[in-house]
Amino acid sequence: MTDASVLETTRLLLRPIELSDSLEIQKAAGAREIADTMISLPHPYPVGGVERYIALQQAERDAGGSVTFTIKHKTEAWFCGLIEVRDIDRTHSQGELSFWLAIEAWGRGYMSEAVQTVVQYGFESLDLNRLYAYHMLRNPASGRVLEKNGFKQEGLLRQRVRKWGQFEDVLLWAILQHEWQDKLDK
């Protein structure tokens, strides 16, 4: 089992995803603007899809394969988004970082704050050596969040995914545990 603690930043509370998050996730994930640049998020978001997603994430957490956090504003308690370390590979000590924010939370620096904390969690609590992330080339905001948090671009995966009938280029980013530690030591 992967221990999923409650994490705090200056403005945010990150806690393991719960079934009680369903309505907020459904509302936010149902926005076309969110699904537009998310590789695996459908639109419209299917009825019952959130409950299935949460059950899957909880089972993955229990099996040690994934940890998904709900991002809430600390003082106002409103839903900001989700962030997860998934596809945890213990043999190679790595996992994929994935995240999205509700439209109302865009442009406030919340995701950079959440990523910084989850990267620390990945290296210290999950004992990973490498965290990697993907984003569509046409979503440079995600790239800026990753770069700000020490990720290095590793490559361009041409037409890696198909979104709404169009093939999309995807960028791959990663950060190694020693790079993160070196950044902290400076």
pTM comes to 0.94
Do the domain assignments include residue 1? Answer: no
Q: What is the pLDDT of residue 3?
A: 53
- 29 against 154, higher pLDDT: 154
Reported confidence tier of residue 23, pLDDT bands at 50, 70, 90: very high
Radius of gyration, alpha carbons of the chain: 16
Residue 1 has pLDDT above 60, yes or no: no
State which residues form the domain around 35: 7-185
Do the domain assignments include residue 83? Answer: yes
Do the domain assignments include residue 27? Answer: yes
How do residues 51-99 score in pLDDT, each as one tens digit? 999 999 999 999 999 999 999 999 998 999 999 999 999 999 999 999 9
The CATH number of the domain holding residue 26 is 3.40.630.30
Integer angstrom CA distances of residue 127 from 124, 151, 176, 186: 5, 17, 11, 21
Reported confidence tier of residue 185, pLDDT bands at 50, 70, 90: confident
Tally of domains within the chain: 1
Tell me phi and psi for residue 80, to 5 degrees.
-105, -35
Q: Which residues lie below 8 Å from residue 91, measured CB to CB, with a gap of 6+?
A: none
Do the domain assignments include residue 2? Answer: no
Query: Is 45 within 8 Å of 26 (Cβ atoms)?
Result: yes
